[in-house]
Amino acid sequence: MNPAQVDAYLRRLGVQRPASPTADALRELHLRHLQTVPFENLSIHLGEEIVLEENRLLEKVVGAGRGGFCYELNGLFGALLGALGFEVALLAARVYGDEGRLGIPYDHLALRVGTVDGGVWLADVGFGTHSHYPLAYEERGEQRDPGGTFRVVASGPDAAGVQGGTFGAGSAEQGDLDVFRNGEPEYRLETRPRVLGDFVAGAWWHSTSPASHFTRSLVCSRLTDDGGRVTLSGRGLTVTGADGTRDTRELTTDEEVLAVYRERFGIELGAVPTMRRSA
Protein backbone atom coordinates (compact mmCIF):
# COMPACT_ATOMS: atom_id res chain seq x y z
CA MET A 1 0.00 0.00 0.00
CA ASN A 2 1.65 3.22 -1.13
CA PRO A 3 1.46 6.54 0.80
CA ALA A 4 -1.31 7.96 -1.41
CA GLN A 5 -3.41 4.84 -0.87
CA VAL A 6 -2.80 5.01 2.88
CA ASP A 7 -3.92 8.65 2.93
CA ALA A 8 -7.07 7.83 0.94
CA TYR A 9 -7.89 4.98 3.31
CA LEU A 10 -7.42 7.22 6.35
CA ARG A 11 -9.71 9.84 4.77
CA ARG A 12 -12.31 7.09 4.33
CA LEU A 13 -12.03 6.42 8.07
CA GLY A 14 -12.02 10.10 8.96
CA VAL A 15 -8.77 9.96 10.96
CA GLN A 16 -5.37 11.58 10.79
CA ARG A 17 -2.24 9.56 10.10
CA PRO A 18 -0.98 8.43 13.53
CA ALA A 19 2.39 9.77 14.59
CA SER A 20 3.42 6.32 15.82
CA PRO A 21 1.97 2.78 15.76
CA THR A 22 0.83 2.79 19.39
CA ALA A 23 -2.00 0.99 21.17
CA ASP A 24 -4.00 4.23 21.36
CA ALA A 25 -3.63 4.74 17.60
CA LEU A 26 -4.76 1.17 16.98
CA ARG A 27 -7.83 1.67 19.20
CA GLU A 28 -8.85 4.78 17.26
CA LEU A 29 -8.36 3.13 13.87
CA HIS A 30 -10.28 0.02 14.97
CA LEU A 31 -13.28 1.96 16.27
CA ARG A 32 -13.44 4.29 13.28
CA HIS A 33 -13.26 1.34 10.88
CA LEU A 34 -16.29 -0.24 12.55
CA GLN A 35 -18.17 3.07 12.40
CA THR A 36 -17.43 3.92 8.77
CA VAL A 37 -16.89 0.70 6.79
CA PRO A 38 -19.93 -1.58 6.90
CA PHE A 39 -19.90 -5.31 7.33
CA GLU A 40 -21.85 -6.43 4.25
CA ASN A 41 -22.25 -9.34 1.85
CA LEU A 42 -23.89 -7.46 -1.02
CA SER A 43 -21.32 -8.58 -3.59
CA ILE A 44 -22.50 -12.18 -3.26
CA HIS A 45 -26.03 -11.19 -4.22
CA LEU A 46 -25.06 -8.55 -6.79
CA GLY A 47 -23.02 -11.04 -8.79
CA GLU A 48 -19.76 -9.22 -8.06
CA GLU A 49 -16.52 -11.16 -7.90
CA ILE A 50 -14.75 -11.15 -4.54
CA VAL A 51 -11.01 -10.91 -5.13
CA LEU A 52 -8.64 -11.11 -2.17
CA GLU A 53 -5.97 -8.85 -3.61
CA GLU A 54 -4.94 -5.60 -1.97
CA ASN A 55 -5.52 -3.28 -4.93
CA ARG A 56 -8.91 -4.80 -5.69
CA LEU A 57 -9.97 -4.44 -2.08
CA LEU A 58 -8.79 -0.82 -2.07
CA GLU A 59 -10.88 -0.17 -5.17
CA LYS A 60 -13.94 -1.58 -3.45
CA VAL A 61 -13.63 -0.24 0.10
CA VAL A 62 -11.81 3.05 -0.47
CA GLY A 63 -12.59 3.86 -4.11
CA ALA A 64 -16.22 2.73 -4.24
CA GLY A 65 -17.06 3.41 -0.59
CA ARG A 66 -18.23 -0.14 0.03
CA GLY A 67 -17.74 -2.60 2.87
CA GLY A 68 -17.27 -6.35 2.81
CA PHE A 69 -17.03 -9.43 4.97
CA CYS A 70 -14.18 -10.68 7.15
CA TYR A 71 -11.62 -11.60 4.50
CA GLU A 72 -12.02 -8.25 2.78
CA LEU A 73 -12.29 -6.01 5.85
CA ASN A 74 -9.61 -7.56 8.04
CA GLY A 75 -7.41 -8.33 5.04
CA LEU A 76 -7.38 -4.70 3.97
CA PHE A 77 -7.23 -3.31 7.51
CA GLY A 78 -4.19 -5.51 8.14
CA ALA A 79 -2.50 -4.05 5.06
CA LEU A 80 -3.22 -0.53 6.30
CA LEU A 81 -1.82 -1.28 9.74
CA GLY A 82 1.30 -2.81 8.22
CA ALA A 83 1.82 0.30 6.09
CA LEU A 84 1.51 2.43 9.24
CA GLY A 85 4.27 0.50 11.01
CA PHE A 86 2.30 -1.96 13.13
CA GLU A 87 3.43 -5.59 13.29
CA VAL A 88 0.59 -7.58 11.74
CA ALA A 89 -0.12 -11.29 11.40
CA LEU A 90 -3.18 -12.66 9.61
CA LEU A 91 -4.78 -15.47 11.61
CA ALA A 92 -7.28 -18.09 10.52
CA ALA A 93 -10.27 -18.99 12.67
CA ARG A 94 -13.24 -21.36 12.66
CA VAL A 95 -16.54 -19.87 13.79
CA TYR A 96 -18.70 -21.63 16.36
CA GLY A 97 -22.14 -22.48 14.99
CA ASP A 98 -25.16 -24.42 16.17
CA GLU A 99 -24.57 -26.78 19.08
CA GLY A 100 -20.98 -25.61 19.36
CA ARG A 101 -19.91 -27.01 16.01
CA LEU A 102 -16.89 -25.39 14.39
CA GLY A 103 -17.07 -24.10 10.84
CA ILE A 104 -14.80 -24.82 7.91
CA PRO A 105 -11.03 -24.21 7.93
CA TYR A 106 -10.27 -20.57 7.02
CA ASP A 107 -13.82 -19.74 8.09
CA HIS A 108 -12.78 -16.33 9.39
CA LEU A 109 -9.79 -13.98 9.25
CA ALA A 110 -8.63 -11.95 12.27
CA LEU A 111 -5.47 -9.99 13.07
CA ARG A 112 -2.73 -10.17 15.66
CA VAL A 113 -1.20 -6.71 15.95
CA GLY A 114 1.92 -5.57 17.77
CA THR A 115 2.46 -1.95 18.78
CA VAL A 116 5.63 0.02 19.55
CA ASP A 117 4.59 0.43 23.19
CA GLY A 118 4.83 -3.29 23.78
CA GLY A 119 1.24 -4.43 23.35
CA VAL A 120 -0.03 -7.43 21.38
CA TRP A 121 -3.66 -7.18 20.33
CA LEU A 122 -6.40 -9.17 18.66
CA ALA A 123 -7.99 -6.82 16.13
CA ASP A 124 -11.16 -7.77 14.28
CA VAL A 125 -13.21 -5.31 12.19
CA GLY A 126 -14.84 -8.07 10.14
CA PHE A 127 -17.01 -10.13 12.48
CA GLY A 128 -20.13 -7.97 12.60
CA THR A 129 -21.17 -7.57 16.24
CA HIS A 130 -17.92 -7.87 18.18
CA SER A 131 -15.59 -5.81 20.36
CA HIS A 132 -15.40 -2.11 19.61
CA TYR A 133 -11.72 -2.02 20.51
CA PRO A 134 -8.89 -4.52 20.04
CA LEU A 135 -8.62 -7.21 22.71
CA ALA A 136 -5.42 -7.85 24.65
CA TYR A 137 -4.11 -10.96 22.90
CA GLU A 138 -2.20 -12.39 25.86
CA GLU A 139 -4.78 -11.57 28.56
CA ARG A 140 -6.71 -14.66 29.75
CA GLY A 141 -9.13 -12.95 32.10
CA GLU A 142 -12.33 -11.04 31.32
CA GLN A 143 -11.99 -7.97 29.09
CA ARG A 144 -14.82 -5.47 29.28
CA ASP A 145 -15.64 -3.58 26.11
CA PRO A 146 -18.66 -1.55 24.95
CA GLY A 147 -19.49 -4.55 22.74
CA GLY A 148 -19.63 -7.00 25.67
CA THR A 149 -17.41 -8.98 28.02
CA PHE A 150 -14.71 -10.95 26.18
CA ARG A 151 -12.22 -13.67 27.04
CA VAL A 152 -9.36 -15.10 24.98
CA VAL A 153 -8.44 -18.54 26.34
CA ALA A 154 -6.48 -21.62 25.36
CA SER A 155 -8.81 -24.00 23.52
CA GLY A 156 -9.49 -27.63 24.31
CA PRO A 157 -9.58 -30.50 21.82
CA ASP A 158 -11.82 -30.16 18.77
CA ALA A 159 -14.65 -32.56 17.85
CA ALA A 160 -12.11 -35.05 16.51
CA GLY A 161 -10.20 -34.95 19.78
CA VAL A 162 -7.30 -33.00 18.30
CA GLN A 163 -5.60 -30.39 20.44
CA GLY A 164 -4.22 -27.31 18.69
CA GLY A 165 -0.43 -27.53 18.50
CA THR A 166 2.03 -25.41 20.42
CA PHE A 167 5.09 -23.78 18.92
CA GLY A 168 7.52 -23.37 21.77
CA ALA A 169 7.64 -21.51 25.06
CA GLY A 170 7.81 -17.76 24.75
CA SER A 171 6.40 -17.77 21.24
CA ALA A 172 3.29 -15.73 20.35
CA GLU A 173 2.10 -18.92 18.65
CA GLN A 174 0.98 -21.01 21.62
CA GLY A 175 -1.69 -23.18 20.03
CA ASP A 176 -5.35 -22.56 19.30
CA LEU A 177 -7.30 -19.94 21.23
CA ASP A 178 -11.03 -19.61 21.82
CA VAL A 179 -12.61 -16.15 21.78
CA PHE A 180 -15.69 -15.78 24.00
CA ARG A 181 -18.23 -12.95 24.09
CA ASN A 182 -20.62 -12.73 27.04
CA GLY A 183 -19.83 -16.30 27.99
CA GLU A 184 -20.49 -17.79 24.54
CA PRO A 185 -17.71 -19.00 22.19
CA GLU A 186 -17.42 -16.97 18.98
CA TYR A 187 -14.50 -18.53 17.15
CA ARG A 188 -11.43 -20.72 17.52
CA LEU A 189 -8.28 -18.92 16.47
CA GLU A 190 -5.21 -20.60 15.01
CA THR A 191 -2.07 -18.70 15.96
CA ARG A 192 0.12 -19.61 12.99
CA PRO A 193 0.45 -16.56 10.68
CA ARG A 194 -1.15 -16.82 7.25
CA VAL A 195 -1.16 -14.77 4.04
CA LEU A 196 -4.26 -13.34 2.39
CA GLY A 197 -4.16 -15.86 -0.45
CA ASP A 198 -4.65 -18.68 2.06
CA PHE A 199 -8.23 -17.51 2.57
CA VAL A 200 -9.34 -17.69 -1.08
CA ALA A 201 -10.96 -21.11 -0.68
CA GLY A 202 -12.87 -19.99 2.42
CA ALA A 203 -14.12 -16.87 0.65
CA TRP A 204 -15.20 -18.95 -2.34
CA TRP A 205 -17.08 -21.41 -0.11
CA HIS A 206 -18.87 -18.65 1.77
CA SER A 207 -19.76 -16.93 -1.50
CA THR A 208 -21.14 -20.03 -3.24
CA SER A 209 -22.16 -22.81 -0.88
CA PRO A 210 -25.84 -23.31 -0.05
CA ALA A 211 -24.65 -24.17 3.48
CA SER A 212 -23.04 -20.74 3.96
CA HIS A 213 -25.07 -18.24 5.94
CA PHE A 214 -23.79 -15.54 3.58
CA THR A 215 -25.59 -17.06 0.59
CA ARG A 216 -28.75 -17.40 2.70
CA SER A 217 -28.86 -13.85 4.01
CA LEU A 218 -28.52 -10.27 2.80
CA VAL A 219 -26.97 -7.96 5.37
CA CYS A 220 -25.35 -4.54 5.73
CA SER A 221 -24.39 -3.38 9.22
CA ARG A 222 -22.14 -0.91 10.99
CA LEU A 223 -21.45 0.50 14.43
CA THR A 224 -22.97 3.95 15.04
CA ASP A 225 -21.14 6.87 16.57
CA ASP A 226 -23.10 6.56 19.83
CA GLY A 227 -22.11 2.91 20.28
CA GLY A 228 -25.28 1.42 18.83
CA ARG A 229 -25.70 -0.37 15.53
CA VAL A 230 -27.68 0.05 12.33
CA THR A 231 -28.44 -3.06 10.27
CA LEU A 232 -30.31 -3.61 7.02
CA SER A 233 -31.25 -7.26 6.52
CA GLY A 234 -33.02 -7.55 3.21
CA ARG A 235 -35.73 -4.91 3.65
CA GLY A 236 -35.72 -4.99 7.44
CA LEU A 237 -34.05 -1.98 9.06
CA THR A 238 -32.98 -2.35 12.70
CA VAL A 239 -31.51 0.48 14.74
CA THR A 240 -30.06 -0.67 18.06
CA GLY A 241 -29.21 1.90 20.70
CA ALA A 242 -26.12 1.79 22.89
CA ASP A 243 -28.44 0.73 25.72
CA GLY A 244 -29.70 -2.24 23.72
CA THR A 245 -33.08 -0.81 22.75
CA ARG A 246 -34.14 -1.86 19.25
CA ASP A 247 -36.35 -0.23 16.64
CA THR A 248 -37.20 -2.43 13.65
CA ARG A 249 -39.28 -1.62 10.60
CA GLU A 250 -39.86 -3.06 7.17
CA LEU A 251 -39.03 -0.89 4.16
CA THR A 252 -41.77 -1.12 1.56
CA THR A 253 -40.32 0.54 -1.54
CA ASP A 254 -37.10 0.24 -3.51
CA GLU A 255 -36.58 3.96 -3.07
CA GLU A 256 -36.57 3.57 0.72
CA VAL A 257 -34.09 0.71 0.56
CA LEU A 258 -31.70 2.58 -1.73
CA ALA A 259 -31.96 5.68 0.47
CA VAL A 260 -30.99 3.67 3.56
CA TYR A 261 -27.97 2.19 1.79
CA ARG A 262 -26.97 5.69 0.70
CA GLU A 263 -27.73 7.67 3.88
CA ARG A 264 -26.93 5.11 6.58
CA PHE A 265 -24.02 3.30 4.96
CA GLY A 266 -22.68 5.64 2.25
CA ILE A 267 -23.31 2.98 -0.41
CA GLU A 268 -24.66 4.10 -3.77
CA LEU A 269 -26.50 1.34 -5.62
CA GLY A 270 -28.34 1.44 -8.93
CA ALA A 271 -30.77 -1.30 -7.94
CA VAL A 272 -31.90 -3.04 -4.78
CA PRO A 273 -29.93 -6.24 -4.11
CA THR A 274 -32.04 -9.38 -3.93
CA MET A 275 -30.96 -12.54 -2.24
CA ARG A 276 -29.53 -15.05 -4.65
CA ARG A 277 -31.22 -18.41 -4.48
CA SER A 278 -28.74 -21.18 -3.84
CA ALA A 279 -29.16 -24.52 -5.58
Catalytic residue among 107, 124, 176, 178: 124
Question: What contacts 115, CB < 8 A, 6 or more positions away?
Answer: 21, 22, 23, 25, 26, 86, 87, 121
Question: What contacts 1, CB < 8 A, 6 or more positions away?
Answer: 9, 54, 58, 79, 80, 82, 83
Catalytic residue among 108, 130, 176, 220: 108
Question: What contacts 60, CB < 8 A, 6 or more positions away?
Answer: 43, 66, 68, 72
Catalytic residue among 45, 70, 107, 206: 70
Residue 231: strand pairing partners? 221, 238
Q: Is 198 a catalytic residue?
A: no
Question: What contacts 37, CB < 8 A, 6 or more positions away?
Answer: 12, 13, 61, 67, 68, 73, 125, 222
CA distance 201 to 216: 18
Q: Is 70 a catalytic residue?
A: yes
Q: Is 247 a catalytic residue?
A: no
How much is the CA Rg of the chain, to the nearest whole Å? 18
Active site residues: 70, 108, 124
